[in-house]
Structure 1
Amino acid sequence: MSDLTAFMGGRLFDGHDWHDNAAILVEFGHVCAILPRSEIPENAEKIDLGDGLIVPGFIDLQVNGGGGVLFNNQTDLAGIRTICEAHAQFGTTALMPTLITDTAAVNVAAIAAGNAAVQARVPGFLGLHLEGPHLALARKGTHDPALIRPMDESDLARTVEAARTLPNLICTVAAETVTPDQIATLVEAGAVVSIGHSDASAEVAGAAFDAGASMVTHLFNAMSQMGNREPGVVGASLANDRVFAGLIADGIHVHPTSIEIAHRAKSGAAGRLFLVTDAMSQTGTDLTEMTLNGRKITRADGALRLADGTLAGADLDMIDAVTFMNRKIGVPLEEVLRMASLYPAEALGIEETYGHLRPGALASFVHLSGDMDVQSTWISGERVWQK
């Protein structure tokens, strides 16, 4: 068999531009060219995926679980593998298993599991997202208030070490509970610091951004809102062109008008709006109940909620987020696809090899039907899921 493989489909989106009658030429798991079908080398194996679209694989930076596994409840290599496999059927080719606020011991186990996933080369594993425990009680959301606490020296040292050993690490912290010096230390170690579950003023949030925080976690949710005299975390993040913002686009977490406003504010900025699922263990299953820190979460009417009605993650996958943004919000398809691939890659600083299909990128892509149904998912040129 040749080392070269040419993948063909109806239309190809490379993350920047559309191509017709073209093929992706892949060698050793990376894209080496996009070229007309008539110029495919004779020694290349040809794989014709048929009609539809070939688009960059989706990148999800906030994934609490999938396939029946909640990462908090199974912080091991098998749990990470199950989560990655569950999301592949929805077009996700790279994701960050996300640990919701928990004990220090669970945090240690999660980091160990992440390092094990690196060694095992788990397809789709991109790194870890530690969401808490250093958050604001006033904006706790579904996070257990008994487990929320300030960041001490041991927390900082452990997280710094994780940032140095993992391929990528996101730390969600509240701007008012973690100091600018701590943020700067984390960023210097290689972590991406995201502000979330924060009731901070715009001034305090701005100081966190100045210290190196470059992202906000699920924009609008669990953060101080924009008012006429106090812009809050929402206003500070929308006004800062360097700050990326994750968005749960399900029509439940954020009103469509607010989504439109945020998208306009971030269009043309260096820091863009990108899509996340905030998915729990239900993804890829028919589960209707799950537990987090001993509390029951119920799945109904497209949402996940605690007994008191608090939203607890999202009943969402990436292809549904893409179609919602395109069909309900009216964002052009190519821009929505960037929100699901290129922009999260840029938020992590890994856009050289992720988030697009231009030469040098990993050959991770999704084949979609004309109706936007996932037909197959490919990671580094290898098929990981087929309908």
Structure 2
Amino acid sequence: MTRLIAPTRLWKDGRFESGLAVEIKAGAIGRIRPLAAHETPDLAPHLLIPALTDLQVNGSGGIMLNSDASPAAIETIIAAQRELGTSFLMPTLITTTAERMRATAEAIIEAWGMPGLLGLHLEGPHLNPERKGTHDATHMRPMDRDTLSILERLRAADIPVMLTLAPEIVPPDLVREIAAMGVVVSAGHSAADAAETETCLAAGISCFTHLYNAMPPMTSRAPGILGTALASDAFAGIIVDGHHVAWPMVAIACRARPVKNRTFLVSDAMATVGGPDHFVLYGEEIRVRDGALVNAAGALAGAHVDLLTCLRNAVFHVGLPLEEAVAMATDIPNAAMRLIPPEVEPGRPVNEVLALDADLNRIEI
């Protein structure tokens, strides 16, 4: 049986098109063609777009990658995210021991080929303890052979990798060596000044991790890592949950970029997304309070948000144009990882496509 979907706007080749009909057969996209005037569709959503891409998912469905990096746990995280509209993601391991990093890399290699698994984001451990956020500073350390060998192992298996590091902690020659492996090097959890940041940009940093967060504020005479990031043509992720960055500051960041299509949405999701309202990280209980994830001291500890909510926030709270916001959750994160973005195209499973109403709420296909 073939069903007909006629969205008001369909995301195709990085922009919206109208007047198209999508045939659905056996749980997958069939033909995409013009909608005839006499046809009555089975479903007429406001938007039809690819399911979202998130490059920073620490956990979901009650699982934290730092606590359980087995292929089964990775599958649970992906399944929980898919239920919320994100079908493509990079599980993210935050600062930990070399042994756990190595075990996680092996689990990713074992799980490789799992639908929705884009690679591995290693957020740390080569960060600045002064800007640790919820990371455990006792595991932070200078770049070492352990990390280099783990990166080499993943890249030898042709697995995309993002590594977040602090430019003032890792020398430019090592940044250059890592980038030469094909690793996407992202700067974050850093107090680097503008000169240090620019030096590492020249050495191969091509991205920045969660703009504003775990970075010192910029001032008129000291742009630091944040101002340098905004003024650069590098990619940059940003958490748009209303807790990590105020709406006007998100708008400023997006409008300040000198090159279009360089800023993308990330959730920084933790185990509570699609799971219980608390979990344990580094032996400390983290709990949802008023929509935010906080530790015992009341400090932010990751995010309790999914990417579709971030997309909705970007449009309705920040005021970004719809086309720009959709690109920030689909095409741009894939471009940051040098991947071909998914399209609404023949053969695509319907669980990798999102139908949304005018309020950007999900409609079951």
> Taking structure 1 as the reference length, what is the TM-score of the superposition?
0.86
Counterpart for residue 95 of structure 2: 101
Counterpart for residue 245 of structure 1: 236
Cα separation, 2, equivalents of 1:80 and 1:339:
24
**Change in CA separation of 1:38 and 1:333 when aligned onto 2, cut-off 3 Å:** same
Letter in 2 for 1:259: V
**Change in CA separation of 1:357 and 1:272 when aligned onto 2, cut-off 3 Å:** same
Counterpart for residue 15 of structure 2: 17
**Change in CA separation of 1:27 and 1:108 when aligned onto 2, cut-off 3 Å:** farther
Counterpart for residue 318 of structure 1: 307
Counterpart for residue 346 of structure 1: 335
Q: Does structure 2 retain, via aligned residues, the 8 Å contact 1:338–1:355? A: no
Q: Does structure 2 retain, via aligned residues, the 8 Å contact 1:62–1:95? A: yes
**Change in CA separation of 1:48 and 1:312 when aligned onto 2, cut-off 3 Å:** same
Counterpart for residue 297 of structure 1: 286
Letter in 2 for 1:305: V
TM-fit CA distance, 1:167:
2.8
Task: Name stretches of at least 5 consecutive residues in structure 1 with no aligned partner.
Answer: 40-46, 377-385
The 5 Å alignment of 1:348-387 reads 348-351=337-340, 354-357=341-344, 364-376=352-364
TM-fit CA distance, 1:161:
2.1
The answer on 1:184 being equivalent to 2:176 is yes
Name which of 93, 114, 126 aligns with 2:118: 126
Cα separation, 2, equivalents of 1:219 and 1:362:
33
Name which of 38, 47, 52 aligns with 1:53: 47
TM-fit CA distance, 1:25:
6.7
Q: Does structure 1 retain, via aligned residues, the 8 Å contact 2:4–2:43? A: yes
The answer on 1:154 being equivalent to 2:143 is no
The answer on 1:196 being equivalent to 2:193 is no
Cα separation, 1, equivalents of 2:3 and 2:262:
32
Structure 1 segments (4+ residues) deviating >6 Å: 25-33, 358-363
Q: Does structure 2 retain, via aligned residues, the 8 Å contact 1:64–1:71? A: yes
**Change in CA separation of 1:16 and 1:360 when aligned onto 2, cut-off 3 Å:** farther
> Taking structure 2 as the reference length, what is the TM-score of the superposition?
0.91
> Could you say what secondary structure the match of 2:318 adopts?
coil
Cα separation, 2, equivalents of 1:228 and 1:28:
58
Name which of 196, 199, 202 aligns with 1:210: 202
> Could you say what secondary structure the match of 1:73 adopts?
coil
Q: Does structure 1 retain, via aligned residues, the 8 Å contact 2:6–2:35? A: no
> Could you say what secondary structure the match of 2:121 adopts?
strand
Q: Does structure 2 retain, via aligned residues, the 8 Å contact 1:223–1:234? A: yes
The 5 Å alignment of 1:19-98 reads 19-24=17-22, 34-38=32-36, 48-98=42-92
Counterpart for residue 8 of structure 1: 5
Counterpart for residue 221 of structure 2: 229
Cα separation, 1, equivalents of 2:148 and 2:321:
42
Percent sequence identity over aligned pairs: 39
> Could you say what secondary structure the match of 1:230 adopts?
coil
TM-fit CA distance, 1:28:
12
> Could you say what secondary structure the match of 2:89 adopts?
strand
Counterpart for residue 325 of structure 2: 336
Q: Does structure 1 retain, via aligned residues, the 8 Å contact 2:54–2:86? A: yes
> Could you say what secondary structure the match of 1:307 adopts?
coil
TM-fit CA distance, 1:272:
1.1
TM-fit CA distance, 1:7:
5.9
Cα separation, 1, equivalents of 2:127 and 2:114:
30
Q: Does structure 1 retain, via aligned residues, the 8 Å contact 2:3–2:25? A: no
Cα separation, 2, equivalents of 1:185 and 1:219:
25
Task: Show CA shifts across 1:105-128 (max 9, x none).
Answer: 11011101111111xx32211111
Counterpart for residue 283 of structure 1: 273
> Could you say what secondary structure the match of 1:220 adopts?
coil
Q: Does structure 1 retain, via aligned residues, the 8 Å contact 2:45–2:363? A: no
Q: Does structure 2 retain, via aligned residues, the 8 Å contact 1:163–1:186? A: no
CA RMSD of aligned residues (A): 2.6
Cα separation, 1, equivalents of 2:358 and 2:173:
50
> Could you say what secondary structure the match of 1:75 adopts?
coil
TM-fit CA distance, 1:375:
2.4
Task: Show CA shifts across 1:148-174 (max 9, x none).
Answer: 111112321221221332431100001
Cα separation, 2, equivalents of 1:59 and 1:308:
32
TM-fit CA distance, 1:31:
7.7
Name which of 96, 111, 114 aligns with 2:108: 114
The answer on 1:142 being equivalent to 2:158 is no
**Change in CA separation of 1:30 and 1:245 when aligned onto 2, cut-off 3 Å:** farther
Task: Show CA shifts across 1:84-104 (max 9, x none).
Answer: 000112211100000011111
TM-fit CA distance, 1:185:
1.5
